[in-house]
Every structure is written in C-alpha cells, then in structure tokens.
Amino acid sequence: MHPADEALVEQYMERGDEHAFRLLVERHQERVYGYLLGMVKDPAVADDLFQDTFIRVLKALNRDRASYTKQGRFLGWVMRIARNAALDHLRARKKWYDVPDPEDMNWWDALPDLSESSDEQLNRSQQADMLAECIDALPPEQREVLLLRHESDLTFREIAELTECSINTALGRMRYALLNLRKMLETTELNHVTHADA
Amino acid sequence: MENRKKDILLHLYGEASEGADLHGLLKDPELRSEHAALSEAKFRLDHRSRKRPDASVIDGIFAATPGAVTEPGRRAGDRPARSRPTHLRKVLLPALSIAAAVLFGVAVGWFAAPSSPDKAPALSDGGGAPDLVPPETLYRFVPPTTNGIRPTGTLSWDDADELRQVYRRIESMQPKSSLSWDEPPVPLESLPVGRSGGILPAGSNR
C-alpha cells in the first residue's frame, strides 16, 4: 500500500526525509509536467518550469507550511504553484495574450498540416503528434481546462477553484474543448485521407 | 438543455452526483449524439501517452535546494533542553542593570543642573520688563560644595539685589492705585493719568 501524499509530506516535514519528497515528485511528475508542456509547448521550458515548481514547493514547505495545509489536497496545491510558474513564463514571453480571441479564431487555419506524411500510414506516434497539435490549437482557456483534467487529473471543482471561475464555466470550457478537438481531428484525418488518395 | 449536456460531461468523467441518471439523459437523441461526440474525444485523450521530465530534472530540484532536504532530522525531535540559569545570569545581571539605571539617573541630574549659581535666571534685568520665569525654576539644584553646606547658609536667590528692588517698586506702586481686586470694573478713561502714578497713555514716554 502506497503512503498518501499527506503522509509523505508529513515525513518530509517532520524528519527531513528526502526520499519521501522524491516519491511525491515522482508520483506527480506526469501530472505536473504534462500540464506544463501543454501550456508552454516547449519541452526544454517545461523542464525548467517543472524544476522551478518543485523548488517553489520545497521553499514554501520550509518557509510556511500553513500555505500547504490551507490549500487542502497536495496535488491541487502543487498545481497552483505550477500554474503560477507557467503563467509567469507566458506573461514574460507575452505569448499568453497574443493568442487570438476564440470568437475570431479560424479553427481550420490552425489545423496541423500533415500532407507531407500523407504517403505513409499514420502510425501511433503520428497520431499522438496530431492530437498534441490539435490540443495546441485550442483557445487557451479550453486548452488549460483540458490539460488540468486529463494531464493533472484535477476534478472540475478543483479546476474551477484553480482557474478562479465557476464550475459551470469550467464544464462549459471542457465541453467545447472536447467538441472542438473532435472536429479538428476529423478534419485533419479527412485531409490526410484525401492527400493519400490524390 | 445546456445543464443536461454538462451532466453528461460529469458522467463521462465520473463526477456526477449519485442521483443523476445517465440512461434517462440518453433517451434524448440530441443528448445521445452529444454523449457520443464527447466520448470519442475523451477516448483519444485517455489513450494519449503521458510525458515525464528527464530524470536529471528531478535531481536538479534537490541539487538546487541542498539545505532544504539533505539534512535528515533537521526538524526531527525536540530541541535540546536549555541549561539552567547560571549564577551570572540569575544574580549578577539584574544587579548590574539596577546599578546602571541608578548611575544613569545621577548622570542626568548632574548634567541638567546649572554649571554655576551665577547662571541662575534673573527675575529682571534692571530697567526692562521682568522675565517670566516659572516658579519651579527658581529652586534650582545647586551643586554641593565639598562639605555639602553653603558658606552663608542662605539660598542663592534670597539675597539678590534685584529681588529687593522689585519688592520695593511693588510696595511703592501699591498706595498710588485706588483699585483693588474686589471692586467692579471701571473704564480706563476714569483712571488718573499722568506721571504721578496710575495709567500711562500708550505711546507716551516714561
């Protein structure tokens, strides 16, 4: 039986057990890294932000443990720190607000162009790349909710709290994210088949 | 309808409340197609391979904060017991504090006192208007002489010529004035004017 997150935090806080903290990092690495990578779309930057997130976590635990206990679930608290790190980076790069308004966005222009590989069978890796590109093409708010739900495994209530919106808004964003994603995937695959036939 | 579409989403992600009935929702064709579309996209996302950072990234966390985690027992256990207060801390320090406070008080008193009796404030400076001096300042601390007693046995201000002059002037003015504190107020014009006594007009030379 694996120890709960809270028990590992306790071990680290009470006994300075590095192994306990390492277990926490390894347990949640995919949830945190998947979100960060989806947000910044650059593996090297995601690596840096991942490291920065857990360094901030360590410092926060050592400086003011209350900031963790007030936030409840460990993962939710870590994701808040990860989100702040990602938004800091995006603001610094001025990319976050450079994304076109979702109302004006032409989805079909943003679809990934897979015509160059049209004469090959779509393998698993290509499908994954295609899915990733479609996710990247989603409006930021929808993309973030989708990443927090699928990569970080947060509940919609936790997502609403983290992104400071109502749960209905979070659900609406998720719904549109899934529907838009499905449309984009269908169109991309259709384009691929058309190119292959030609 | 919008709320029921959100209910479908909650069902898909296992977050619907216990009383919610998915089968009832799916009887509606529109909701059924919504469910199919959402399920398809979710299926693709669920089968997506997950990514993780390089192992060196995790090592870097601990390398960047060495003091935070590499000291087992850093927060462990209770702090060591404090030693009993020593004789120095228990007796000598309070005594020294009291002595320092007394010395400070004496030093303040010494420097607040005038350096010589000659600098005591005068009640008047000859023919000019008398200085307004608070009465308490008349009783100034006079540094003791070697045997602690003044040679004359009188206070420094008691034998001053100026004091005697002021007293004589008051005595000489008293009979010239017909007013006393008990009488009702009278206009100034009714008072005697002139050099012989009483009120002097403004601007006139004495």
Between A34 and B166, name the one with better pLDDT.
A34
In whole angstroms, what separates CA B88 from the centre of its chain? 33
Between B74 and A4, name the one with better pLDDT.
A4
Are residues B48 and A51, on separate chains, in Cβ contact within 8 Å?
no
All residues at 6 or more sequence positions from B131 whose CB lies less than 8 Å from its CB, including other chains: B121, B122, B123, B124, B125
Q: Where are the domains of chain B?
A: 2-46, 87-176
In whole angstroms, what separates CA A181 from the centre of its chain? 15
Confidence of residue B23 (pLDDT cuts 50, 70, 90): confident
Confirm or reject contact between A17 and chain B (CB < 8 A).
yes
Q: Where are the domains of chain A?
A: 1-98, 100-198
CA distance A22 to chain B (A): 8
Between B91 and B42, name the one with better pLDDT.
B42
Confidence of residue A73 (pLDDT cuts 50, 70, 90): confident
Rank A46-50, B54-58, B61-65, B155-159 by mean pLDDT and report only the highest. A46-50
Between B69 and A163, name the one with better pLDDT.
A163
Phi-psi region of A18 (alpha: psi -120 to 50; beta: other; left: phi over 0): alpha
What mean pLDDT do residues B27-36 have?
A: 90
3-state secondary structure of B22: helix
- For the beta carbon of residue A151, count every other beta carbon within 10 angstroms: 24
What mean pLDDT do residues B42-50 have?
A: 90
Instruction: Give the pLDDT confidence of A132-153 residue by residue, as tens digits.
Output: 999 999 999 999 999 999 999 9
How high is the mean pLDDT of chain B? Answer: 70
Prediction pTM value: 0.58
Instruction: Give the pLDDT confidence of A176-188 residue by residue, as tens digits.
Output: 999 999 999 988 8
Asked if A81 and A25 count as a contact pair (C-beta separation under 8 A), the reply is: no
SS (H, E, C) chain A: CCCCHHHHHHHHHHHCCHHHHHHHHHHHHHHHHHHHHHHHCCHHHHHHHHHHHHHHHHHHHHHCCHHHHCCCCHHHHHHHHHHHHHHHHHHHHCCHHHCCCCCCCCHHHHCCCCHHHCCCCCCHHHHHHHHHHHHHCCCHHHHHHHHHHHCCCCCHHHHHHHCCCCHHHHHHHHHHHHHHHHHHHHHHHHHHHHHHHC
Q: Which two tokens stand for residue B92?
A: 């000598």
**What is d(CA B67, CA B81) in angstroms, rounded to the nearest whole number?**
24
**What is d(CA A189, CA A114) in angstroms, rounded to the nearest whole number?**
9
CA distance B83 to chain A (A): 25
What mean pLDDT do residues A76-103 have?
A: 78
Predicted pLDDT of residue B127: 46
Q: In the predicted model, is pLDDT for residue B77 greater than 70?
A: no
Specify the CATH number of the domain A1-98.
1.10.1740.10
Asked if A25 and A16 count as a contact pair (C-beta separation under 8 A), the reply is: no
What mean pLDDT do residues A6-26 have?
A: 89
Are residues A54 and B61, on separate chains, in Cβ contact within 8 Å?
yes
Classify domain A100-198 at the CATH topology level.
Arc Repressor Mutant, subunit A (1.10.10)
Element (H, E) at B93: helix B93-112
Closest among B117, B114, B115 to B157, alpha carbons compared: B117
CA distance A129 to chain B (A): 10
Confidence of residue B156 (pLDDT cuts 50, 70, 90): low
CB-nearest to A178 from B38, B68, B73 is: B38
**What is d(CA A158, CA A164) in angstroms, rounded to the nearest whole number?**
10
Are residues A16 and B37, on separate chains, in Cβ contact within 8 Å?
no
**B193 beta partners:** B199
- The chain B residue lying nearest A46, using CA atoms, is B53
Closest among A181, A141, A38 to B38, alpha carbons compared: A181
Please tell me the number of Cα atoms within 13 Å of B198 on its side-chain side.
Answer: 14
Q: How far apart are the first and last CA of chain B?
A: 108
Instruction: Give the pLDDT confidence of A110-122 residue by residue, as tens digits.
Output: 555 555 555 555 5
Closest among A162, A123, A166 to A144, alpha carbons compared: A162
From chain B, pick out residues whose CB is under 8 angstroms from the CB of A15: 72-73, 75-76
For A114-130, letters b (16+ CB in 10 Å) and e give: beebbeeebeeeeeeeb
Are residues A51 and B62, on separate chains, in Cβ contact within 8 Å?
no
Are residues B10 and A29, on separate chains, in Cβ contact within 8 Å?
no
